[in-house]
Amino acid sequence: MIDLTKPVLHIPWDSEGTFVNRENRFLGLVNIPGIGTVNVHIKDPGRLENILIPESKVILQKKDGSKRKTAWELISAKVGYDWVLVNSGFHPHIAQYILKNGFVNELGNIKKIVPEKQIGNSRLDFLILTDTNRVWIEVKGCTMAIGDIATFPDAVTSRGKKHVEELIQIVEKGDIGLIIILIFRINVNCFKPNFDIDPKFAKVFEQAKKKGVTIKTSVIYL
């Protein structure tokens, strides 16, 4: 497990608040002191059931733009004494830092990083061209912990399953496939796929390991 303790990314924020309710997958209600209850955008497809609970403390970013439905975006939520990132928009930036700073040295000398690369019926997060290999990468953000075990996903993800299947095919054709699991719960000792919530994804994930897809986990501190 890769353990990052140095600063990776600066995330500006504008206000703290208290979580009220999750209206739907992408919309929540938060009470901001001095402002009142506002709609906030939730940029995370997971359930976040043990994180976004009434009265939990959250951090928000103010957003401008006429095309937006909300003026606020959720950044993180407090679980116990720890802040947990609940905004998948930052995942690619964190992953790029990992890739550029030698945390996957065995992949070879990186020549080029191509984000959002189409292959087959999927768009994977990155294609890396090294001096010797083509490396296809998918990044997953893990916010769920059961005891000291980080686990993904916290909701059924047919899209995630399809990405892993694509990586298996990539490896079978001779390229390198890599899954990076960004873990946002710091009091964990290991990671495993979540068979209880999504057994289909978990089964394909285990198959990917056996087929030679590389798995890297990285604990991210806020």
In order of start, what are the domains of the chain with their CATH numbers? 15-85 (2.40.50.580), 88-220 (3.40.1350.60)
Q: Are 80 and 188 in contact (CB under 8 A)?
A: no
Mean pLDDT of the chain: 91
Phi, psi of 128 (to 5 degrees): -110, 130
**Residue 160: closest CA among 142, 148, 146, 174:** 142
pLDDT of residue 206: 98
pLDDT of residue 67: 76
pLDDT of residue 103: 72
DSSP-derived secondary structure letter, 88? G
pLDDT of residue 176: 94
Strand runs labelled E in 131-196: 134-142, 144-146, 149-152, 176-183, 190-193
Residue 177 has pLDDT above 60, yes or no: yes
- pLDDT tens sequence across 81-109: 999 999 999 999 999 988 888 777 777 78
Mean pLDDT of 119-130: 89
Mean pLDDT of 152-158: 95
pLDDT of residue 4: 52
Helix (H, G, I), strand (E, B) or coil at 142: strand
Mean pLDDT of 186-210: 96
pLDDT of residue 83: 95
pLDDT band at 6 (very low <50, low <70, confident <90, very high): low
Q: pTM to 2 decimals?
A: 0.92
Residue 139 has pLDDT above 80, yes or no: yes
Share of the chain above pLDDT 90, in %: 76
